[in-house]
């Protein structure tokens, strides 16, 4: 199946087929995201000045990235972030962006912030955590 994605990405052009099973959960906010967003929305009723810290983008050296999968992962990541941000924003929940200095031109998290465990494709290191903590502190001080 040749799936043309809204923003003009053509999966067939990179020899890939995208499963609707992958894209539908993003649109419907199903799975873990649904529960996490609902929890944040519930907390915001108790703490109206709530903020959510954006998770780091994926790392370019993640083992799940194959030769042609970078564009697909980038699209899915972008669509997911857009959807979650929309849900949080609609509830009046502020979002602290990933520190701009940690994002590469390609849209991934800079490898300087990758954690030390080569088997962990998802978590950033303490230097990244320090930047986010500084960002959170500045946000709290501005309130």
Please, what is the angle between helix 70-90 and helix 32-46, to 10°? 30
Using DSSP's 3-state secondary structure scheme, residue 114 falls into strand
Domain range enclosing 107: 11-141
Question: Locate tokens 């990758």: which residue?
Answer: 114
Q: What is the mean pLDDT of residues 125-141?
A: 94
Domain count, the chain: 1
pLDDT digits (tens, 9 = 90+) for 52-107: 899 899 898 888 777 667 888 888 888 888 888 988 898 888 899 999 999 999 99
Identify the sign of the CA torsion 36, 39, 41, 43. Answer: negative
């Amino acid at each position: 199946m040749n799936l043309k994605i809204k923003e003009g990405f053509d999966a067939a052009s990179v020899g890939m087929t995208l499963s609707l099973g992958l894209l539908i959960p993003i649109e419907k906010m199903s799975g873990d995201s649904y529960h996490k967003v609902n929890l944040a929305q519930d907390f915001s009723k108790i703490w109206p000045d709530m903020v959510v810290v954006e998770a780091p983008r994926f790392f370019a050296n993640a083992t799940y990235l194959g030769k042609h999968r970078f564009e697909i992962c980038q699209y899915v990541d972008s669509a997911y972030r857009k959807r979650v941000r929309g849900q949080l924003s609609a509830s009046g929940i502020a979002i602290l962006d990933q520190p701009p200095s940690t994002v590469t031109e390609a849209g991934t998290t800079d490898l300087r912030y990758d954690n030390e465990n080569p088997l962990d494709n998802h978590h950033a290191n303490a230097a990244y955590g320090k930047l986010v903590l500084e960002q959170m502190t500045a946000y709290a001080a501005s309130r």
